[in-house]
Amino acid sequence: MLITVDPAARVSLAEQVAAQVRVAIARGDLAAGDRLPSARDLAASIDVNMHTVLRAYARLQEDGLIELRRGRGATVLRSGNASFDRLRSLVGELRDQADALGVPLDQLMTMLQGAR
């Protein structure tokens, strides 16, 4: 699993890490039972503070995607291939609607980025 962060992004480093793990689970790159790298190892590999990774892992645990156990690390609780496929379908529908309304792709992207 390759995780990268952009320190200049408006989104926190912890949220960037959590989002990339969510996507990996949704795509099926990470399946139920798979172990995530230790917070220390992941932090070293992406050059962030270990507590940043721990915040990301805590958020994923709150979302019910991973389980954290002291001394055992983080384990994926559920897979998400179907969720990713549904999201892809929704994106296609959104793109079709934008095309029908004459909204250019760059404007749609700006709208999506501001929708949080």
- C-alpha–C-alpha distance, residues 50 and 43, integer Å: 5
- Residue 80 in tokens: 């998400």
Q: What is the pTM of this model?
A: 0.70
3 state SS of 66: strand
| Closest alpha carbon to 9 in 1, 19, 23 | 19
Helix axes 13-27, 50-62, angle to 10 degrees: 50
Q: Between vectors from CA 112 to CA 17 and to CA 104, what angle results, nearest 5°?
A: 135
pLDDT of residue 3: 94
pLDDT of residue 72: 85
pLDDT of residue 70: 87
What is the DSSP code string of 21-41? Answer: HHHHHHHTSS-TTPBPPPHHH
- All structural domains of the chain: 13-79 (1.10.10.10), 82-113 (no CATH)
What averages of pLDDT result for each successive group of 10 residues across the chain (116 residues)?
91 96 89 94 96 96 91 84 71 92 92 81
